[in-house]
A and B are shown apart, each in its own frame.
Chain A
Amino acid sequence: MSKETINISRRGFVEKTATTFAGISIVPGVFLHQVANAKPADQPATADNRWGMLIDTNKCASGCTACVSACNEENGIKTSDHPNHDNQTTTQQWIRKVKLRDKQTGHVVSLPMMCQHCEHPPCVDVCPTGASMKRADGIVMVDRHICIGCRYCMMACPYKARSFAHETVEDPKEYAPRGKGTVESCTLCVHRVDEGGTPACVEACNEAEHGAMIFGDLKDPNSAISQELKKHGGKQIRADLGLNTGVRYQGI
């Protein structure tokens, strides 16, 4: 306990020194990383961060659905209990695996599709009540307190990233509330991100030893994702729309 208390004050100290003596490299990188990631619970998310994800489709294994299962487990997404009912059309899919073949070259890629966390999200533009929203740190979510279930955002999303809760949600996770009659989509595991963690899908991809997904702060030039993007680049899906997505892909 006391160790942790010290840790906190040390963290605060580090924060202050880091800002005062910016550039002095006595601060160990580990701490810098933690300061950047773990937002204090009473502080709002700010535009100093922009959370994003980079997916290397060459590392993404065809047939592997670790990210999908992890997402479902994390967010309490279950297939329907109703018999005689085509689950695939009406159950929620926050993340899905897609396998593609280039029609000309025959090159086959496998990749996960999910909310692309656009800088200019069409779903946010069209939402009549403002339930569809983007946080200051770039995470796009649905505020299901004021979602009326009109589904206009689903019409507007170019990535089919959103699902409608077609039936009652039994036993939602306490950190991922979900309910019938509203629209939902990938939250980038915001409950984890706010506490300095990584989204469940990325964790699962790493645990499966594919390492195809990197999560991090696009605004931090030293983050792994920024470094990798700078070195090898990453494409946006439907870049023509100019949405500036937070999720980027390599190898497509």
Chain B
Amino acid sequence: MLQLKQLMHKSLLAMLGSAALAASSVAVADSALLDIAKAKSDQCVEDTAEMRTNHMEKILHQRDKTMREGIRTKQYSLKECINCHVEENSQARAGDKDHFCSSCHSYAAVTIDCFQCHADRPAPASRNSVKTSSLQESTDTSETGVSQ
């Protein structure tokens, strides 16, 4: 029963994801200079301009909140940046020009060490199923429920 619910939940997410992907691939590249990897959605959590200037502060703030207090909201979490901006099973790794973060950071010559520890691509679906416990899944679902 529970597994069925999980499956439904996942396939729904996957459908949404692929729809967003299709939308974003139609959108033109942001910059003539840069070939920034595309996001799965055409709208980031804030305006593009805001994100370009202030993404580091948002991530840093969220970093300490999550690390020290256990606040795990998704809006400004690095994990969600990666989930949205990097393809699952992407061949582009942090440091490569075609990785979302690295493409801009290498252009701007700003060194980041996020990916010395953090995953630079979303977890493959197979990995996800190993991890999730039943309680956790229900929390995830309820979050989706709230946002809709």
Binding site for B on A (CB under 8 A): 1-2, 4-5, 7-8, 34, 37-39, 41-45, 73-74, 133, 135-137, 141, 143-145, 168-169, 171-175, 177-180, 182, 190-192, 194-198, 203
List B53-80 residues whose CB lies under 8 Å from chain A.
63-65, 67-74, 79
CB distance from B20 to the nearest CB of A (A): 19
Interchain CB contact under 8 A, B141 and A4: yes
Contact partners of A182 in chain B: CB under 8 A: 117
**Whole-angstrom CA separation of A213 from B10 in the bound complex:** 31
Chain A residue nearest to B71 in the complex (CB): A44
Q: What are the interface flags for B107-148 relative to A under an 8 Å C-beta threshold, 1 for contact and 0 otherwise? A: 000000000111100110001001101011011111111101
Interchain CB contact under 8 A, A180 and B116: yes
Give the contacting residue for A192; candidates B133, B143, B146; CB below 8 A.
B133
Contact partners of B127 in chain A: CB under 8 A: 173
In this complex, how many residues of chain B approach chain A with their Cβ under 8 Å: the count is 35
Contact partners of B117 in chain A: CB under 8 A: 144, 169, 172, 177-179, 182
Interchain CB contact under 8 A, B70 and A5: no
Give the contacting residue for B145; candidates A4, A43, A144; CB below 8 A.
A4
Given contacts A173-B119, A174-B82, A177-B118, contact A74 B135 (CB under 8 A): no
Chain A residue nearest to B130 in the complex (CB): A73
Give the contacting residue for A174; candidates B70, B118, B141; CB below 8 A.
B118
Interchain CB contact under 8 A, B136 and A136: no
* A-B interface, 6 closest residue pairs, ranked by CB to CB distance from nearest: A179-B117, A44-B69, A45-B70, A177-B117, A174-B119, A4-B145
Contact partners of A179 in chain B: CB under 8 A: 116-117
Specify the main secondary structure of chain A where it touches its partner: loop
**Whole-angstrom CA separation of A26 from B133 in the bound complex:** 28
Interchain CB contact under 8 A, B67 and A143: yes
Specify the main secondary structure of chain B where it touches its partner: helix
Give the contacting residue for B68; candidates A1, A39, A143, A175; CB below 8 A.
A143
Give the contacting residue for A145; candidates B67, B73, B142; CB below 8 A.
B67
29 A-B residue pairs with Cβ-Cβ distance under 8 Å, sorted by A, are A1-B145, A1-B148, A4-B144, A5-B145, A7-B138, A8-B142, A34-B135, A41-B139, A42-B73, A44-B69, A45-B70, A141-B67, A143-B68, A171-B119, A173-B119, A174-B122, A174-B123, A175-B79, A177-B117, A177-B118, A179-B117, A182-B117, A190-B70, A192-B133, A195-B139, A196-B136, A197-B133, A197-B135, A203-B133
**Whole-angstrom CA separation of A195 from B122 in the bound complex:** 19
Given contacts A44-B70, A45-B69, 16 further A-B contacts (CB under 8 A): A1-B141, A1-B144, A4-B144, A7-B142, A37-B135, A38-B135, A39-B70, A41-B71, A41-B73, A41-B74, A41-B143, A74-B131, A145-B64, A173-B127, A174-B119, A197-B133
Given contacts A135-B68, A197-B135, contact A4 B118 (CB under 8 A): no
Interchain CB contact under 8 A, B148 and A145: no
Contact partners of A192 in chain B: CB under 8 A: 133, 136
Contact partners of A173 in chain B: CB under 8 A: 119, 123, 127, 131
Contact partners of A175 in chain B: CB under 8 A: 79, 131
Contact partners of A177 in chain B: CB under 8 A: 117-119
Interface centre among A43, A133, A191, A197 (most CB of B within 10 A): A197
**Whole-angstrom CA separation of A1 from B71 in the bound complex:** 24
Contact partners of B130 in chain A: CB under 8 A: 73
